Amino acid sequence: MARDALMWRTIWWHTYYLYLPEPMKSGRYTVSVRSINPPFKRQATLDYNDRNTSSKVIKVNQLAYSSRSTRRYAYLGWWAGDAGKIDYAALRTFEVIDEARNRTVHTGHIALRGIDDPMSGEDVYEMDISKLPQGRYHIYIPGLARSDTFTIGGEGLRDLYYHTMRAFFHQRCGQEFRAPWTTFSKPACHVEVAKSGRLVTGPGCIHCLWKNVEPYVVGPNEPVKHFRGGYHDAADFDTFAYHLPATAQTLEAYEMYSSAFTDGDLNIPESGNNKPDVLDEAAWGLLFLIENQNPDGSVPLGRGNECDAFKQNTNGQYPPFGVLPPWRDSTATFAAVAAQFARLIKPYDPQSAQRHVAAARSAYEWSKTNIDRPGDPKKDIPSRKARLSWAACELFAATEEATYNQDIKDLYNDKDRGVQYWWARPLRWWAYLTCNHPEVDEQICAWMRTQIIADADKVLEKMETVAYRHGAGPRTGGWGSMLPALQAQSLLPAYSLTHDQEYLDAASLHADFQLGCNPLSKTFITGMGYRHPNRPEIAWYLYEDPDLSGPTVKGLTMYTLGPPIKSWYPITPPWRSHRDLWGNGAEIWSEFTVHQTIGPTAMLFESLYALEDR
């Protein structure tokens, strides 16, 4: 079957609920539906025992709670379509079973947290499990069921760090996939592009056929450019400089807890080179851009071709070699991340540090000169100056040169708000806040610190306004805006600055939401947890079977909750609005991007993993 047909082949899943006149008792039950004909099953049996039968209505973090958090919860609740909420009011107590000793180690009260919760459609109950030490457990609710097994601390958090960081590896453009790095197979892709901008060889030719475009035949003596580096953009195959903030987030977590990360801990091709793997992955994120930086310092937006949504990014024009034109935001962002990387790689590779600092300087000067042009929309200027200020902070920390410090002061006082612009503030300011140079402006640092803590406090406040704790508060979104890990971008720096436990607790609670403590009782990370995305919109070679079926690669974070689904009956509660399928308009829920989901998630679990032994 053609791949286009596979993309749109959809079987709709319907869930039916059977109501009994009295609660179930331990034993075997048979359910028959006479009107169902073969090949479908008309009869099924259930061996029910409330101690052994697990139920998704008991919602736990399905991978690992942080042992460093002092607030940990499980939740109880369910919304059953047009049957509405399920009534669990008669259930009063719960037990926690230590699976290593097979005995009850904690008994607690099931507390009502939210009645008629508008976001989930449920009456939401919570169970406090904060006092449990590291271990392996499950919850038992007498008369109902048990939960999935969960852990506190331990290898589960290392697995989360490992797989969410390796999401970058599995999105690498130009990278061969093979053992021992991965069980998935793919030749190095998108490595040759003709001067016309047309792809020459590799799996990209398959992409061409997918789009009904014939593979390009190179003309006589036509130059061919070789590429490597960068990351595929979600399930598309073009790459962009605006992925760089994701790389910066992993570097920020590395800065906070550098001793936790080592050479070889991510099993990537660079492992064994005496550099921490986190830094090696960052080098790959910068590689294409530094190798294609223009002589004037400008940096391309990215690269692509007609098989990779190329036209949508260049208005149908094909720049030579498939390289997209320079972009002012991309150049300033590159300057910031290249300087950040240079600081961190210097103890391991001074030559690489020198190269990246030089590239960052050149990009910064171009950005500073080209920040404003006649006819530019004025609304774009604050954003550009914010990125320029980020680069200035990183370059000052890397070089300690007074000119960058003065630029920071000037941008702080700039009428367009420069330093003070709202976008990615903790990430942009971190280098300056943690720089020990005596000329750092203490007034600016104090203001930065105050703003980061204020942003984190807003998350704390909003998190408690909804039954399932989430710093977005009672709202909906789309395209990754509801990702719980996004809230950690202010919480983790606030914790690092203050060591106030409430910020670490809040970051951990958002990790819990992302890993199963949510109305859907599922994780939003491929291949991880008991109920994870089964049909995510990812590259087909990251499925076990090429027909887009079977298990997928682990560690890719999907967009999670999306806009409310209003076209179905009954109307779906906002935080149960999720479509787990490939294509058919579901990408707003089941796709992802490097900068919107992979980066924030990797930063969160990188940090929680590093904190386990501190």
> Which region among 93-107, 413-427, 500-514 has the lowest average model confidence (pLDDT)?
413-427
DSSP collapsed to 3 states, 418-474: HHHCCCCHHHHHHHHHCCCCCCCCHHHHHHHHHHHHHHHHHHHHHHCCCCCCCCCCC
Strand partners, 65: 152
Cis peptide before 570 (omega within 30 of 0): yes
Q: Which of 340, 336, 344, 608 is nearest to 495 (CA)?
A: 608
**What pLDDT does 143 receive?**
94
> Which region among 206-220, 312-326, 354-368 has the lowest average model confidence (pLDDT)?
206-220
Q: Per-residue pLDDT averaged across 271-275, rounded?
A: 98
pLDDT digits (tens, 9 = 90+) for 403-421: 999 999 999 999 999 999 9
The letter for the amino acid at 124 is: V
pLDDT digits (tens, 9 = 90+) for 464-490: 999 999 999 999 999 999 999 999 999
Kind plus residue range of the DSSP H or E element containing 75: strand 73-76
**What pLDDT does 3 receive?**
42
**What pLDDT does 360 receive?**
98
**What pLDDT does 211 receive?**
53
> Which region among 424-438, 452-466, 565-579 has the lowest average model confidence (pLDDT)?
565-579
pLDDT digits (tens, 9 = 90+) for 146-188: 999 999 999 999 999 999 999 999 999 999 999 999 999 988 8
Residue 496 clears pLDDT 80, i.e. is over it: yes
Which region, left, alpha or beta, applies to residue 143 given φ > 0 means left and ψ of -120 to 50 means alpha?
A: left
Computed over every residue of the chain, the mean pLDDT equals 92
CA separation (Å) from 284 to 166, 247, 279, 361? 12, 9, 9, 20
**What pLDDT does 93 receive?**
98
**What pLDDT does 5 receive?**
45
Report the alpha-carbon distance of residue 13 to residue 36 in Å, rounded. 15
End-to-end CA distance of the chain: give it in Å, rounded. Answer: 53
Contacts of 369 (CB under 8 A, 6+ apart): none
**What pLDDT does 187 receive?**
86
Q: Per-residue pLDDT averaged across 455-471, rounded?
A: 98
**What pLDDT does 7 receive?**
46
Give the length of the chain.
Answer: 614
Residue 197 clears pLDDT 50, i.e. is over it: yes
Q: Per-residue pLDDT averaged across 445-459, rounded?
A: 97
Establish how many alpha carbons lie within 13 A of residue 250's alpha carbon, considering only the half-sphere containing its beta carbon.
Answer: 30
pLDDT digits (tens, 9 = 90+) for 67-87: 999 999 999 999 999 899 999
**What pLDDT does 209 receive?**
45
CA separation (Å) from 550 to 75, 236, 557? 30, 20, 18
Residue 527 clears pLDDT 60, i.e. is over it: yes
Q: Which of 200, 548, 344, 461 is nearest to 188 (CA)?
A: 200
The answer, as to whether pTM is greater than 0.85, is yes
Q: Which of 377, 368, 359 is nearest to 408 (CA)?
A: 368
Q: What percent of the chain has pLDDT over 70?
A: 93
Domain ranges, ordered by start, for the chain: 3-48
Let me know: does 59 contact 76? Beta carbons within 8 Å.
yes
Residue 201 clears pLDDT 80, i.e. is over it: no
Let me know: does 308 contact 287? Beta carbons within 8 Å.
no
Pairing of strands 145-146, 543-545: unpaired
> Which region among 13-22, 113-122, 259-268 has the lowest average model confidence (pLDDT)?
13-22
For residue 433 the two structure tokens come to 């806040």
